[in-house]
Amino acid sequence: MYTIKTLDLHFQKEGHTIASFLISDQNHRVLVETGPESTWPQLVSELRKHQLSPGDIDAVLLTHIHFDHAGAAWRLAAAGAKIYVHPLGLPHLASPEKLWRSAAKIYGEANMGKLWGNMYPIDNQNLIPTADLKAVAIGKMTFIPLHTPGHAVHHVAWKLGKNIFTGDVAGVKINDGPVVPPCPPPDVHLEDWRESMDKILAQKPDKLYLTHYGMVTNPAQHFEQLKVLLNDWAEWMKIRFQEEIPEEIIIQEFTSYTGNQMADCGANQSLRQLYELANPSWMSVSGLLRYWKLKKLGII
């Protein structure tokens, strides 16, 4: 048998924003997600609580290569872990310069260190590409990678028994707040995302483990709510896109629109701030506008 522990990485010193999951059987230890490198000291201290050090981790299963999920993978690889990642994400971990540059464009070069820390290349011999549904056995534990594009084209959800580690494809849900869809650029794709949600539901999981943040025990209802809100945000954005409203204005409007939605669900200001840390509103504006633009151009 195995155990699953949620490690709170305290992103930007706030709890319940980014998780890493430690799955152990008697002889093997696996991490799903590493968090960004900026939270590496916190990850090390969480491992220590379980009498572990980074060198004890056999494998890291990544859901995708965004910094908040995979930024510290190179540190685990340097300590000897095998890193499992979607084949489309793999080259960016072997040579992260392009990934870093495009993130610096989005976040601003000056903010990169504080937000994400460092990122160094991972040796190819430590990187293992996933194949959809092809089991990965680690000790007696069998993980099934479910290729689940929509949030990112290279997204993988990981199934273990009746549990599924969903990365960002099951959205963001913090504490007793609502579930919302993180829609960053460059590859949000609504149709793919809907299909991916159904693909996960078809596995009939009992529990979902969200990187932002923690365990969900009602998967069907959870995805139902996520589908409604994904649709709602996308249609809201489509209207602004068609009216060619400048992005800065849309960001202001969208931040207040989603703020009101959160308030309607009973979320207070401090919970709202956790959501903005895990899933900034401005980023979803950028991602959804890009989706509608590509759609209009017939590229997707």
Tokens describing residue 213: 């943040």
Does 187 help bind Zn ion (rule: CB under 5 A)?
Answer: no
Q: How far is the CB of 68 from Zn ion (least distance, A)?
A: 4
Work out whether strand 214-216 and strand 207-210 pair parallel, antiparallel, or are unpaired: antiparallel
Q: Would you say 19 or 141 has its CB closer to Zn ion?
A: 19
- 168 or 187: CB nearest Zn ion: 168
Q: How far apart are CA 248 and CA 254, in angstroms?
A: 10
Binding to Zn ion by CB under 5 A, coded x per residue (else -) over 147-186, reads ---------------------x------------------
| Residue count (the chain) | 300
Please report how close the Cβ of residue 292 comes to Zn ion at its closest, in angstroms. 22
CB atoms within 10 A of CB 160: 23
| Pick 99 or 138: Cβ nearer Zn ion | 99
Kindly state the smallest distance separating residue 184's Cβ from Zn ion, in Å: 8
Report the C-alpha gap between 57 and 24 in whole angstroms.
9
| DSSP secondary structure letters along 164-185 | EEEETTT-B--TTS--B----T
Helix H or strand E segment including 186 = none
Site for Zn ion in 89-148 (CB under 5 A): none
Interface residues for Zn ion in 44-73 (CB under 5 A)?
68
Q: Say how far residue 76 (Cα) sits from the centre of its chain.
A: 18
Round to whole Å and give the CA distance between 228 and 208: 18
CB of 78 to Zn ion, least distance (A): 23
Identity of the residue, 54 or 167, whose beta carbon is nearer to Zn ion in the bound complex: 167
Q: Report the residue number, 32 or 141, with the smaller CB distance to Zn ion.
A: 32
Select 138 or 172, whichever has its Cβ closest to Zn ion: 172
How many residues line the site for Zn ion (CB under 5 A)? 2
Residue (of 279, 299, 218) closest to 11 by Cα position: 279
Site for Zn ion, rule CB under 5 A: 68, 168
